[in-house]
Structure 1
Amino acid sequence: MVLSLVNLCAREVVSDHSSSPNWLKWVPRELYRALLEAAFASCRPLAVGELVQRWPERSLRVGGRRKPRQAVPNRLCIQALLLAVVRGLTDQRCALQVLDLCGLQGDEGGMGDSMGGWSLTVALCTMVVQARTGAQRAQRKEGDHERKRFSALERARDLKREKGQRKGPKNLDDTCSNGERTGTSGPVSEEETIKGVRRRMEVERKKTIAASGLGDSKVDVEEKSVDIDVLVHVRADLFVNSRSWERVRLALSSPGPLKLQCRYLRVEEISVSSIRTLLALLPCQGLLGVDIRYSSLGVAGLAELLPLLSTFPSLNSLRLHYCNLDFRRDIFGQEDTLRDLSQGLAHLQELRRLSLTALRLPGQLRVLLSSLPQPLEILELPYLSLSPADLAYLSCSHHASTLQQLDLSENRLDTNTLSSIRRLLSQASSSLQHLSLSGCGLTDGLLGLLLPSLGSCWALKSLALALNPLSMAGLLDLVRMAARMPSLRQLLYPNPLEDYQPGLPDLPSSAQLLDWPLDEAPDFNMTSSQLNRVLTDSGRHDLFLTCDLLNYDKDLVE
């Protein structure tokens, strides 16, 4: 990557923090973005904090879609940014109103010192709560100052009245006439007036307490009576599990100068009631996707959540991974629950992505997908034990011609389903960009029948066929076909059966191929050399071949 002159100068400027007082006050607002990017790239958290605290623009976006292999911002820099946002609330030089941190998080436990999704969510919620506490403290101090000033004025007025009383009335008749008008003497009427003002203030205070709730504590009443304006809207992707749920709930439910908004919500291992509470707290505008993992929803629990999901008008992605959706006809009421599930999906007007992983709903794909009002663009159905009827419906559904990503991994394919797969690929040939058929039991014979349909997908950019029992001959046929696809950029191929140690069954499963040891002979790299030779002979230098299942990422395709 070639850096521009501005980027090079910005990196030099932020490299020395001791000189920041000399240049920071003279920097024009047009250079703040370049300086902040240089501070992130050079891992200068102090410079990040100073720049963000006096950010001169209305909005600041940090994160977004990163380029392939682009480094994630350092954890210390992110923490400095969050602290600077709180400090900037009281800094007159800061004009920040919208902070967008969507896509900022890195991989949990990944390389480097990046901040993962869970850690970033906890830090964001802590920032929101701290900002609210600071604003309440500032308002209480301001209120105490006003009360002290009012008391000082009252004391000054009392002193003036006492001096007037010592001097005495100049005219007794005037005093009597004043007393007759008020029903008592002049000085007493003034004291009663002051008491009346205080009495009215006490009544108003009691009314406020009563309106706040009779059972609330004194601290709760003070917090409810504080009206804090929202100064900065913070938008981010939230990752919530049982350890962070309470902190997220507190940050979303309490008013303060920072208002937290969510673009993509990912929840793990929390109950249906907790997910329902969380969805009720999120602003309806702006939520694009919900990802629920390892939560025992059940069909009934999902049917209960779908009406809440329909209240988010921009929701276009729903992902359910290992959520214990098990449909069995022998359980009473399951048919009615599945019907409720279908009706709930029908209200998701903008849904374009649906991911269902390891859900035991064989033969029910028509019930689920036919109710969606709009055709899907991304459909992921791994480990679903799809039946021939499911694949037959999918190949003829209104989703087939619009699919851009399709994942059928770990669904067993055979001669009974091959015709449906070929028809599905024919329908999606002009739109399909990413296809995964890993672990589908494709032998040399089945793959040979499927290759013409795969080759007709002229828009395909990535193809994953790992953990299929292919021989070296079948693998070479696959690579020759891939070399004739001009749009294809990545191919995840399986290790040929010849590369495994002896003892492997004739038709091994994907689990056996994953666990069986590979042959460690010196000529093990011959497979890669042969495949690359095919690409070289075909003149393809832009097609990336890999058998590394763990590090394969289709999103690396530009």
Structure 2
Amino acid sequence: MSVQTPPRLLDLAGTSLLRDEDSAVSALEYLPTELFPPLFMEAFQGRRIETLKAMVHAWPFVRLPLGGLIDMPHVGPLQAVLEALDVLLAQKVRSRRCKLRVLDLRDTGQNFWRMWSGASIHGCSSSRRAPVAEHTSRTQQHLAPLKVFIDICLKKRTLDNFLTYLFWWVEQRKDSIHLCCKKLKIFAMPMENIMKVLSMVQLDCIQEVQVNCVWHLSTLATFAPLLGEMSNLQSLILSPIVVSAFEEQQQKQHVVQFTSQFPRLDHLQDLHLESPSFLEGCLDQMLRCLKTPLDNLSITNCQLTESDLTHLSQCPNICQLKGLDLSGVTLTDFSPELLQVLLEQVAATLQELNLEQCGIGDFQLESILPALSHCFQLRTFSLCGNLLSKTIMEKLLSHTAGLPHLSDEFYPAPRESYSPHGALHLGRLAQLRDGLIEIMRDLGRPRAIWLSSSPCPHWSNKTFYQEEPFLYLCYTSG
């Protein structure tokens, strides 16, 4: 027979108070702070609009994390809160209880509601609550604009009802509202509409920009001035940029419009460029505009010139890289010393290295093994999609055996695993695997390795350490 946990006195008090909405509203000025969050949740879920509005007027915390209460924001409850904020913003003198300066519509407030509702296993000590109920003078409350935080994801060609209503509300109150967005994702929307949306956002609040749709180079050039105003940007991820035939005459101008914004990005740490064909032969234009050292650099699935790779290996702002991804960049025709110099530049800090499908052969790999063996912070390394012999793989295992943090290794099936016609022979692969396991056993360090006939199968799927060396075979049939 299960024993149900009895309701807390705090919950019973809130439920009792909400039975009479008029009494609840009149009692807010004297209500204990501990009752506000659970009572707000009850009113929100029960759609008690008048109580909800009154609670906003007397909210005793600096932040109202409304996004933590709703999976998908709806116009109804949001409208009630915004209407209450209208009244609050118009007041010359506010309630003595009200400390509200931030409306947070991001899905980041669950811990706040759990803590005050008793759901947190850590309980709610007064010391944990103290930082939430910050004190601000009435003069400061009146002068400082209300900050509204939201993560913007533009998935369609037009805005949904929620964003349409919110942006309309913000536009009417530009002087008293600061709309702050830290994460901006663009999947599909005309540039004209994107610019209208961003005209209402404090661009210097944006920290992450992710473009998940194919843009023309001219579109990127149009977006570039907005990018330059994002002075606190930390992460920029761009999907493939297409250079059409009619853009070729203006390509140099468009590239300059894009790269010239980088000197304004003082906090950029992560830069990910998927298929940036427009940078071929002019990568140095972007690299020399970087203001601060990067943590992660990804330039993938494109052609680079030897000059590009030279500039990359000499760039002072890549010397602290933790992650380097050059997958899909053909390195066959370059002097292997360039890649060696690049690895020497980042050896002290590099944690993730992806060289999948780079056309690397035995000669290129052997040239970089000494530099690779000095990457003592390396945790993840992938060479999948390259054609390597069993002999060079044995050397690779020997050189990487001294890397203490290396835990995820993704290597191609040895060249000897294939028939002259390119078909994978599973029997040969199994024999070669057994031979490599013996090599690892002799090296005396337990390791877990992916051995694959295709590009890296699971960057994020970690294998477990074994007491004995272990090679996991992953291959594609047909």
Pick the TM interval, shorter chain.
0.5 to 0.7
Match of 2:439 among 534, 539, 550: 534
* Cα distance in 2, alignment partners of residues 230 and 262 from structure 1: 16
Contact 1:238 1:262 in 2 (8 A): yes
What's 1:547 paired with?
Answer: 451
- AA aligned opposite 1:345: F
Cα deviation 1:83-130 (Å, max 9, x = unaligned): 75987946969866343979x9xxxxxxxxxxxxxxx9xx54x33x23
CA distance in 2 between partners of 1:100 and 1:479 (Å): 52
For 2:65, the equivalent position in structure 1 comes to 99
Q: Deviations over 1:333-356 (max 9, x none)?
A: 332222222222222222122111
CA distance in 1, matches of 2:231, 2:256: 23
Quote the RMSD (CA, aligned, Å). 4.2
Amino acid at match of 1:317: S
Structure 2, unaligned runs of 5 or more: 14-33, 88-99, 108-150, 171-176, 465-478
Q: SS in structure 2 opposite 1:547?
A: strand
Distance in 1, matches of 2:66 and 2:84, equals 26
C-alpha distance in 1 between matches for 2:404 and 2:162: 47
Query: Residue 53 of structure 2 contacts residue 83 of structure 2 at CA under 8 Å; is this kept in 1?
Result: no
Say whether 1:134 aligns with 2:80: yes
The separation in 1 between residues aligned to 2:169 and 2:197, in whole angstroms, is 16
Please state how far the C-alpha of 1:320 moved relative to its aligned partner.
0.6
How many pairs were matched up? 374
**Which protein is bigger by CA-based radius of gyration?**
1
Select the structure that is richer in helix: 1
Residues of 2 paired with 1:57 and 1:424: CA distance?
Answer: 59
Change (3 A) 1:336 1:471: same
Is 1:470 the counterpart of 2:396? The answer is no
2:328 to 405, 410, 416: 410
Matched residue SS, 1:493: strand
- Letter of the 2:458 counterpart: N
Which aligned pairs between 1:129-208 and structure 2 lie closer than 5 A?
129-135=75-81
CA distance in 2, matches of 1:264, 1:330: 30
Amino acid at match of 1:240: L
What's the CA shift for 1:443?
Answer: 1.2
Shift of 1:315: 0.8
Q: Is the Cα contact below 8 Å between 2:44 and 2:77 reproduced in 1?
A: no
CA distance in 2, matches of 1:316, 1:448: 36
For structure 1, the 5+ residue unaligned runs are: 1-14, 28-51, 59-79, 105-119, 143-228, 505-516
The residue number in structure 1 matching 2:258 is 341
Tell me how far 1:437 sits from its aligned partner.
0.6
Distance 1:536 1:294 in 2: 47
Separation (CA, whole Å) in 2 of partners of 1:311 and 1:343: 12
Say if 2:318 and 2:345, in contact at 8 Å, map to a contact too: yes
CA distance in 1, matches of 2:258, 2:85: 48
Correspondence for 1:291: 210
TM-superposed deviation, 1:407: 0.7
Residue 267 of structure 1, CA deviation: 1.1
Shift of 1:306: 2.1
Cα distance between partner residues in 1 of 2:162 and 2:294: 31
Whichever residue aligns with residue 432 of structure 1, its letter is L
Conserved 8 A contact 2:276-2:302:
yes
- Are the structure 2 counterparts of residues 264 and 100 from structure 1 closer, same or farther at C-alpha, using a change threshold of 3 Å? farther
Is the 8 Å Cα contact of residues 251 and 260 (structure 1) preserved in structure 2? no
8 A contact 1:403–1:431 mirrored in 2: yes
SS at 2:215 equivalent:
coil
Cα–Cα, structure 1 residues 368 and 133, in superposed 2: closer, same or farther, change >3 Å?
same
Q: Which residue of 1 aligns with 2:24?
A: none
- Name the amino acid aligned to 1:21: P
Amino acid at match of 1:423: V
Match of 1:235 in 2: 106
Letter in 1 for 2:325: D
- Letter paired with 1:130: G
The question of whether the paired residues in 1 share the 8 Å contact of 2:231 and 2:264 is answered with no
Contact 2:271/2:296 (CA < 8 Å) preserved in 1?
Answer: yes
The Cα shift of 1:555 comes to: 9.0
1:12 aligns with none
Tell whether the 8 Å contact from 1:289 to 1:316 is kept in structure 2 after alignment: yes
Aligned to 1:177: none
- Match status 1:454 vs 2:360: no
For 1:409 and 1:435, the matched residues in 2 are separated by 9
Matched letter for residue 253 of structure 1: F
Mapping 1:375-524, distance limit 5 Å: 375-414=293-332, 416-500=334-418, 503-504=421-422, 518-521=424-427, 524=429
Instruction: Identify if the C-alpha distance between structure 1 residues 379 and 556 changes in structure 2 by more than 3 Å, giving closer, same or farther.
Output: farther
TM normalised by structure 1 equals: 0.58
Question: Take 1:312 and 1:351, find their aligned partners in 2: how far apart are those partners?
Answer: 10
Query: Would the aligned equivalents of 1:261 and 1:286 in 2 still touch at CA under 8 Å?
Result: yes
Asked if the contact 2:448/2:463 (under 8 Å) is kept, the reply is: no
Q: Does 1:253 align with 2:219?
A: no
CA-to-partner distance for each residue in 1:443-484, whole Å, 9 max, x for gaps?
122211221121122222211111111122222222222212
- 1:354 and 1:380 in contact (8 A); partners too: yes
C-alpha distance in structure 1 between counterparts of 2:445 and 2:44, whole Å: 50
Question: CA 1:335–1:244 in structure 2 vs 1: closer, same or farther (change >3 Å)?
Answer: closer
**TM-score by structure 2 length?**
0.66
Residue 249 of structure 1: how far off its partner (Å): 3.6
- Which of 187, 190, 215 does residue 268 from structure 1 map onto? 187
Question: How does 1:352-371 map onto structure 2 within 5 Å?
Answer: 352-361=269-278, 362-371=280-289
Q: CA deviation at 1:379?
A: 0.9
Q: Secondary structure at the match of 1:356?
A: strand
- After superposition, residues 53-132 of structure 1 pair within 5 angstroms as 55=37, 84=45, 89=52, 97-99=63-65, 123-124=71-72, 126-127=73-74, 129-132=75-78
